[in-house]
Each structure stands twice: as C-alpha cells, then as structure tokens.
Structure 1
C-alpha cells in the first residue's frame, strides 16, 4: 500500500494520483479532505492568502458541500478552527 498523500481531485481509478514534479501543492489538514494535497501551481500570493472552498463528498452538509481551507496563521487552534505550518517548502492549508 502506498503511503504518499493523494492529490485532491484525482480519480479513484487514477494510476498515479500523487504529487507530480514541477507542481506546487498545499497539504490539507482537518475536515473532510484531511491528508490530501491540493494543486496550487500558479496561485498568486493573494489567492493563497484567500484560501479555497473545495468540494467535499463527505461533509457536514452531505455530498457536494464545500470545505473552506485557509493558509497558516500564528494563532493556535480554537473552537474547531486551526492553523497550518510549513511543510518542506510547501504550505499547509487548515480547515477554517
């Protein structure tokens, strides 16, 4: 069994659903997409700061709902909100 994190949006039958060289990824932490990578290649600094609303098939509102992920903050997690920390040059997004 491969222990590398899968990329968000890859198909279940994709033969190589993992990070690819030359791309930039953010690690998703918490929420329904915990453990996946999101491809952030080409994102501007403003887009990274804004975060992303990603479609989640397994969430509090059922299939097709959105999971809101945002960039690192210096604040510790409180009331279910979290923070992210650097990951070997890539950034982590945490559920917000």
Structure 2
C-alpha cells in the first residue's frame, strides 16, 4: 500500500494555495510558485514504535506490554475485515 498523501488546495481569482503536511505554497494563476514555506517532516508514529521495539529487543528498554494486551486490537481489526466480507456486523469478541 502506498503512503497516504494529504493536501488541501484552495483556488481563488488571484491564484491558489496548496497545503501539505510539510509545506504551504502560494501559486499564481499560471501555476508558478510565488511563495513557499516548508518544514521538515516529524517522525511518524510507526517509526517511533519500531525504534522502541528495537530497543526492547536490544535490552535497552523494558517491554511494558505483551501480546495479550494487543489481542483486543487484533480482534477488532479481524472483525472489520470479517464484517466487510460477510456484509454484516461481526462482534470483535467472536474473534477471540
């Protein structure tokens, strides 16, 4: 799955403004960038979680949660897919 890209484009009589996660651009009517403000990306939550997990594996951090704490989350995700396939609601508790 490709990464999600989000942006907002506002078009007016004097040009447009494009907002993304990392920048704001003001464009002239011909599409030329008149002004731009950029900022670096903040690290993603997934990156922080993977980093933490690696530190747990290396013995540098304590594992504060185990697989049993994630079963409800996994059951919810499984029930979403099962509900879509079945065309009806499936209770996540049925997945445990």
| TM-score, normalisation: structure 2 | 0.20
Higher-Rg structure is 2
TM-score in terms of structure 1 length: 0.20
